[in-house]
């Protein structure tokens, strides 16, 4: 018998979309169609899948989206020129540059060139700064999606110990800020563990909630967590197998093991992934609302 709750990102995202449709209608009544420009450099398979899923969902919601594809050997100045053009285009309220970028391009320079008011990923230093002082404009999509899932399933972090595995600017660092903010649904004691942390188990065994964003397949095992832990698994890792596809997707938590002791856990796929796209759509709608 299953004695844990599956935290479904599909279910939560569908609820989010039903709420967002009302806001889209209000904007349409003012002749505003929220628009996102996505920039894809090269043909990274994971990036292509994400862009394809995002495009499909934008169209379903009646939103405008266009993907600008650039060759893998594109020069930095050429990319900056494109961003400048989209910054000045009133049809696009949001800009997303798909990461990672090839090595000849400095990601920081590119992110810094996006207008903060169009930075729906929330990566611009201005938006990162606003988040860090507790007055966010755009919250990065994956961390925002995690907080929305916790809220949907009535998981209150107040007074709890949250352990975040990973310190990236995309997930680890922003989610550590969000969970520890003095606000409703948050207010936790948050610990960040990373590649420089000694004896990670010492922290994970004391965690009420673990947010795993390391990108290491099946890293988190049963012997590393306590009974009744809640696990939010951000990892999406490909592992080769004998199936028709030749691979399967697994998270950073070893599902077969952690589900024996967890109170609740997000599946991979179908957990945090759908929430990331839902929050990108929400941020784009917010950008259009702010624009008017």
d(Cα 264, Cα 113) in Å, to the nearest integer?
A: 40
Q: Are 237 and 213 in contact (CB under 8 A)?
A: no
Q: Which of 57, 98, 119, 252 is catalytic?
A: 98
Q: Beta partners for 191?
A: 163
8 Å CB contact between 268 and 236: yes
Question: How far apart are alpha carbons 97 and 234 in whole angstroms?
Answer: 20
Q: What value, to the nearest 5°, has the Cα angle with vertex 94 and ends 90 and 96?
A: 135
- Name every residue whose Cβ is closer than 8 Å to that of residue 60 and which is 6 or more positions away in sequence: none
Q: Which residue has the tokens 């599946």?
A: 267
Identify whether 98 is a catalytic site residue: yes
Sheet with 94-97, side-by-side order of all strands: 64-70, 35-41, 94-97
| Strands 35-41 vs 64-70: parallel, antiparallel or unpaired | parallel
Selected catalytic residue, list 57, 118, 121, 144: 121
Residues contacting 272, CB < 8 A, separation 6+: 9, 142, 145, 146, 149, 232, 233, 234, 266
Residues whose CB is less than 8 angstroms from the CB of residue 187 and which lie 6 or more positions away in sequence, other chains included? 157, 158, 159, 180, 181
Sheet holding 209-212, edge to edge: 5-6, 264-265, 230-233, 209-212, 161-165, 189-193
Residue 73 annotated among the catalytic residues of the structure: no
Cite the active site residues.
54, 98, 121
């Amino acid at each position: 018998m299953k004695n844990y709750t599956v935290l479904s990102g599909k279910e939560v995202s569908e609820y989010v979309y039903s709420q967002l449709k009302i806001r889209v209608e209000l904007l349409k009544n003012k002749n505003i169609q929220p628009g996102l420009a996505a920039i894809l450099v090269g043909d990274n398979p994971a990036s292509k899948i994400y862009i394809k899923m995002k495009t499909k969902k934008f169209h379903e919601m009646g939103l405008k989206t266009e993907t600008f594809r650039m060759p893998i050997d594109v020069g930095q100045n050429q990319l900056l020129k494109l961003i400048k053009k989209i910054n000045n285009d009133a049809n696009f309220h949001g800009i997303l540059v798909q990461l990672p970028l090839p090595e000849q391009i400095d990601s920081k320079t590119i992110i810094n060139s996006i207008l903060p008011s169009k930075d729906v990923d929330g990566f611009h230093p201005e938006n990162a700064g606003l988040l860090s002082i507790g007055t966010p404009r755009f919250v990065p999509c994956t961390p925002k999606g995690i907080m929305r899932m916790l809220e949907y399933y009535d998981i209150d972090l107040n007074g709890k110990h949250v352990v975040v595995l990973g310190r990236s600017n995309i997930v680890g660092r922003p989610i550590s800020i969000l969970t520890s903010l003095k606000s409703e649904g948050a207010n936790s004691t948050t610990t960040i563990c990373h590649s420089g942390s000694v004896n990670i188990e010492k922290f994970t065994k004391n965690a009420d909630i673990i947010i795993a964003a390391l990108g290491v397949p099946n890293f988190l095992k049963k012997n590393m967590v306590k009974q009744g832990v809640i696990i939010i698994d951000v990892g999406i890792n490909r592992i080769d197998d004998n199936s028709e596809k030749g691979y399967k997707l697994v998270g950073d938590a070893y599902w077969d093991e952690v589900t024996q002791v967890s109170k609740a856990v997000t599946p991979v796929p179908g957990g945090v992934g759908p929430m990331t796209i839902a929050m990108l759509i929400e941020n784009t709608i917010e950008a259009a609302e702010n624009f008017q």
